Chain A
Amino acid sequence: MITVTINGKKIALEKPVTILKAAEIAGIKIPTLCHHDMLEPYGGCRLCLVEIEKMPRLQTACTQYVTDGMVVWTETEKVVEARKGVLEFLLINHPLDCPYCDKAGECDLQDLVVKYGPATGRFAEGKRTHPESYDDPIIVRNMERCILCARCVRMCDKVQGASAISITNRSSKSFVEPFSGGEYNCEYCGNCLTVCPVGAIMSRLHKHAYRPWLIEKEVDTVCSFCGVGCSLTLQVRGNSIVRAVPKPGKGLNKGLLCNRGRFGYDYVGSTNRLDSPLIKKDGKLDRATWSEAFAYIANRLKKIKETYGSNSIAGIASGRCTNEDNYVFQKFMRVVLGTNNIDSVAGFAYAPAQKFFEGIFGQGVTANPMHGIANSDGIFVIGGDPTSVNPVLGLQVRAAHQKGVPVITSGYMQGLKMFSSKSLIPDTFTETTLLASLLTGLMKERPFCGLNSAFEKIIRDIQPVEIKEAEEICGITSKDISYAIDTLSVMTNPSIIIGRDILQRAEGHTNLLLLAALIYLLNGRIYLLSELPNEQGLVDMGCLPDMLPGGRPVTVDIFRKRYEEFFGVEIPSRSGLSLMEMIDAAHANKIKAMYVMGEDVVFNVPNTKYVKDALSKLDLLVVQDIFMTETANLADVVLPSLAWAEKEGSYTNLERRMQMLGKAVDGKGMDDWQAIAEISRMLGFDMDYKDSGDIISEMARVSPLHKDISYKDMADGECIWPYKGEPLRHGMSIEGIEMPDVKFPMIRPERKKIYIGMDNPLFHAESLSRNSAALHSIAPEPYVRINKALAHELSIANGDYVTITTNSGSIELSAQIDSDLPANIVLIPNNFDGKGVFAVMSWRMNPVIKSPAMDFTEAVIKKIKGAEVLT
């Protein structure tokens, strides 16, 4: 026990903390500028100087740790004088442009000078000058205001890991600048903006458009961009969102955000938002009233159901919609329309991967707290770059690496380039061989634990791949593979982070088996990367062709019976169609009607032309969305729905934490669930929910997993796996799981051919960022990433326009040259209207996991001659 006395107040402490912290515990405020709770002590501003008895000099409270018996004074004459002196020094070069500065009103320096500073300054000479910089798309830097607390630099280096900014020059001529005039690695996370105490680093989006005292309300909510589920606060004036800010220390992001969460919310206020229901008349979508639209949909659905049967109808749900929307959606499909044909893009990778792993290891095996990544003793990442798919989760990997935790990455990952102990980049489409060789090596070093003998038997039968063989096929040296095996073999509870790329392969199912074996051997914790904010919720709510709410298989009688009894209806005992099967079935005229809630199917499903053809053949296509998407264009009825900031409800993130959204503004559309309830009523099935709370309480009775949960649990942050319910225990058997063949082909793609793959850029988010002007200002142009050697061979320079042609189509893009990418693959993002990778990508059905295999689309690349600007 340590006893310290601060200003005569005695406090007892368990362990030594800084004087600053001790004072905070004692309720004594010591002013600071360079200190920030998210950062390491710095001791630069000298504002927190305090007097310690028996020490001749004043000491900085932020760096000095308390010792037993220490006596500290924080308001003596000496301290007050020093503080006043420091503030006077700070104002020497700080411009007094407060009336014009956006920070005024929430500026730490302004507040401190008011409280402690001298009334007048005595500095007579001119202040330093430095032009305001607009070099960055969404950040404006005014270095005249900088007080050199270095919070931004420390945030960028130590927390974000981008190392994009640094202090240049010396003395009062120091400025925070990019290393090399614009050519730098800024990730536009804006976390520097969070920590800047003055108006030196500000958001360009809010320049002169924002005054803190004009904020009318603040709404706590969860970010709408990816599966991490960062907490953020929306600041609202009138009916518009003024700003999105993180709350220090709050949520699982602990005050951090990425560029999308911080800047991308502006899609909500986009002028492109749908504001009225539309019904197609004579091939043209016309405005209609809500009741006309509902009646139209109900009549047509009724007729199709009667004529062609329930299974001629299919529904596509969305990981952007809430749990409440998705629950009501699956209920509508199963109970009202009588079909299990429900799926979403989560069925491409996230859901099958989860299902596979849960089949082997038990339900909830992927529900691991995110902060566990930074605390694990090793990390293996494959199939996606966490720093761009789930940026704030990616920071955990970076933090772990900075602490010295070994990180092995497999595949092309720009964001972890500086943060991996070994980066293995196998030749295109040879991950299976690499994984198998890692497994073969590990089996020699790690004995089986005997916990799951059935699975151990399967692992033993997996065809071994020796390192030499992998070296030849994957193009990675034996030394590197051995290093990875050695590093992995000593990990005791590593985090295994898996992205979708590894699944959307012809051998996707084999990759899953190999990964499961690896996880079993290493005792790993699984983290599945998730691009959508509610991908997990969609799965848990039963928006899958084979799963009821709570992850209960529809094919198992007792679960289905329980569901049927609850609603008093019968539902099909067989699984429904997966999304890709629905597209195929629509093509074959077997699906007659499709109900799409919040998904741009045309844009987000590979082979655009094929999808369009399929959807055009439908008798009825209903689309609920917030924008006029390419899918909505094909629809017979379009219903405008509410955006994330306009509704109440909940999301379940990738660690299976349920979190509440907050309604910040009013929208012109209708809640997705409400529209469905209205149609349902017209079809003779009443769904009388007053609000989203009613849905959650019904869901809590239907899903055995979510027993008795409520919004209060979510608000308290207690809605984490396994909630209060009963997870489905598979026991230690693997019955019912379709196991891939353990003798797999060793794929050797032809090195001469060029294939296309999907790029996941940090600055965009699936289809949503298309309507965010802010995100578009960072990366406005669609591109194709090309290997340096390949580009050289084709005489393509950075920024040149090229045509990519495949058997599915052709697009024109600007080239981005990249030296780390394997030579025979080019990557195209799927974030730009009409220029997405799916326009040219073809797919085949993976027979085991029913997800589209997107590898082996061959492409021809041609430079467009003389085309300076494409319109």
Chain B
Amino acid sequence: MEKFLLRNIENPNSTDINEYISVGGYKAISKALELKPSDIIDEVKRSGLRGRGGAGFPTGMKWSFAAADPKKPKFILCNADEGEPGTFKDRPILEKNPHLLIEGMIISGYALQAEYGYIYLRGEYPRAKDILKDAIKQAHDKGYLGDNILGKGIRFYLHVHQGAGAYICGEETALIESLEGKRGQPRIKPPFPVNEGFLSKPTVVNNVETLANIPYIMEIGAEAYSKIGSPDCPGPKLYSVSGHVKNPGVYELPMGTTLRDIIYAHCGGIRDNKKLKAVIPGGISTPILSPDKIDCPMDFVNMPKHGSMLGSGAVIVFDETVDLAKVCLRAMKFFEHESCGKCTPCREGVGWMRAILERICNGSGNEKDIELLIEVSRNIIGKTFCPLGDGAASVVQSFIKDFRQEFEQHITKEADKEIKAAA
């Protein structure tokens, strides 16, 4: 398949605006500015593009909500707070193809009649910050940003804001709070950001990859775009593959490519030709899958049918040597560390799950601990303020459901302990 999102990234000078233009960059803008803003929104709606951040919400619909709100000004925010373990799909765009994102944001800004856009960048991406700032300056100098874009009297400014290293700020309302200078914690919804977002004004928050798809839709048209990949959620998709595959990395493939194809056809199969033990398909917060489920197409529609989620498309592959109980513990340490502390179940419950897992992994767990773990996770799921706690609890549940023996092997039965003590 022809690459679009990762087009030209092999070029060492890909961040230079002239290089980007030479492969057809910034053409979509001219095309888009000929259209009425509402026509662009319709085009995006027709393309079937769904948000690439993880939730898969139809992008065109999100835009039309914000466009319909009479309040002004409006804002477009790019969620570049890519912080979920296993996810690094946005990084090549941010570091190697920044103009694609900028072009996408300018078109989105015009479609929404927003004059200001912000890229909320993950604190741990310092290189991307410099690259983006430089790219924005270049675009400004070329007249793609500023008060009078391409002489058409259209105004759009773009700023980069670097986060301070909190996973929760990838949640859109927490991102907005953080951008406003407050503590990064999710807000009550409704009101939704499309009505009351940044500075209480209509705001669209889109993932980097989502925005990077916009120029492509403009270029080939909604019709052609909607024919790529899965019919219900079309388009190219970036999969970031890590773990025990021969060739880990970011792959641009049509939406709906099966996990088996990703692992074996594109990534060269399991390292050292070991056996596959499990796959986490969409970043650490998505439920883990056993090898019998890897023929599932990786898209928003099919993954839930197989008990997991597409998430950000971050595939983490585990071979037979991996101790999944320890993986689960590591994941819980992450969630405990990143819990913002706003709601009780996530703040206290996730730490408790971590404590139990730690007990199990260091051999001091008992037979009741696995049941307790399940009960604690049940008291979290469905009761938290935002999906972070839910994610943590569902990870525990999915690990225990399919890989219970991995936990049991750490637990010495009380009877065995007595035998040991006697000897």
Chain A residues with Cβ below 8 Å from B378 are: 85
B340 touches A82 (CB 8 A): no
Assembly CA distance A44 to B183 (angstroms): 14
Cβ-based interface call for B125 (8 A): no
Chain B residues with Cβ below 8 Å from A81 are: 379
A167 touches B345 (CB 8 A): no
Chain A residues with Cβ below 8 Å from B379 are: 81-82, 85-86, 88-89
Q: Of A169-177, A543-551, A557-565, which binds chain B?
A: A169-177
Cβ-based interface call for A125 (8 A): yes
Q: A43-B385, A58-B383, A86-B383 are in contact. Are A171 and B347 (CB under 8 A)?
A: yes
Of B183, B188, B341, B351, the most chain A CB neighbours within 10 A belong to B341
Interface residues of A in 34-65 (CB under 8 A from B): 41-47, 49, 56-58, 63
B355 touches A46 (CB 8 A): no
Assembly CA distance A41 to B166 (angstroms): 24
A46 touches B352 (CB 8 A): no
Assembly CA distance A125 to B372 (angstroms): 14
- The contact of B188 among A49, A56, A63, A171, by CB within 8 Å, is A63
A151 to chain B, nearest CB (A): 13
Assembly CA distance A93 to B339 (angstroms): 15
Interface residues of A in 734-754 (CB under 8 A from B): none
B383 touches A170 (CB 8 A): no
Interface residues of B in 375-399 (CB under 8 A from A): 378-379, 382-385
> Chain B interface secondary structure, helix, strand, loop or mixed?
helix
Cβ-based interface call for A804 (8 A): no
A49 touches B383 (CB 8 A): yes
> Chain A interface secondary structure, helix, strand, loop or mixed?
loop
Assembly CA distance A866 to B379 (angstroms): 66
Chain B residues with Cβ below 8 Å from A125 are: 352, 355
Binary contact readout B313-352 vs A (1 if CB under 8 angstroms, 0 otherwise)? 0000000000000000000000011111111110111111
Chain B residues with Cβ below 8 Å from A42 are: 188
A92 touches B348 (CB 8 A): yes
Chain B residues with Cβ below 8 Å from A89 are: 344-345, 347-349, 352, 379
Instruction: Give the interface size class of chain A.
Output: 35 or more
B188 touches A46 (CB 8 A): no
B343 touches A82 (CB 8 A): no
- The contact of B341 among A56, A57, A63, A148, by CB within 8 Å, is A148
B343 touches A171 (CB 8 A): no
Interface residues of A in 16-46 (CB under 8 A from B): 41-46
Cβ-based interface call for A134 (8 A): no
- The contact of A171 among B336, B345, B359, B385, by CB within 8 Å, is B336
Cβ-based interface call for A457 (8 A): no
Assembly CA distance A125 to B362 (angstroms): 14
B338 touches A170 (CB 8 A): yes
A172 touches B351 (CB 8 A): yes
Assembly CA distance A350 to B381 (angstroms): 61
- The contact of B344 among A56, A58, A86, A167, by CB within 8 Å, is A86
B104 to chain A, nearest CB (A): 32
Assembly CA distance A123 to B372 (angstroms): 10
A321 to chain B, nearest CB (A): 48
Assembly CA distance A147 to B378 (angstroms): 21
Q: A89 — nearest CB in chain B belongs to which residue?
A: B348
Cβ-based interface call for A90 (8 A): yes
Q: A81 — nearest CB in chain B belongs to which residue?
A: B379
Q: A122 — nearest CB in chain B belongs to which residue?
A: B372
Chain A residues with Cβ below 8 Å from B372 are: 122
Q: A94 — nearest CB in chain B belongs to which residue?
A: B348
Residues of chain A having any CB pair with chain B under 8 Å: 41-47, 49, 56-58, 63, 81-82, 85-86, 88-90, 92-93, 122-125, 147-148, 150, 166-167, 169-174
15 contacts between A and B (CB under 8 A): A45-B343, A46-B344, A46-B345, A85-B378, A89-B344, A93-B348, A122-B372, A148-B341, A148-B347, A166-B183, A170-B337, A170-B338, A171-B337, A171-B338, A171-B341
Instruction: Sort A-B residue pairs by CB-CB distance and give the 8 closest, nearest first.
Output: A85-B379, A174-B341, A89-B348, A171-B339, A125-B355, A92-B348, A57-B382, A63-B188
Residues of chain B having any CB pair with chain A under 8 Å: 166, 168, 183, 188, 336-345, 347-352, 355, 359, 372, 378-379, 382-385
5 further A-B contacts with Cβ under 8 Å, apart from A81-B379, A171-B347, A172-B341, are: A44-B385, A85-B383, A89-B348, A150-B342, A171-B337
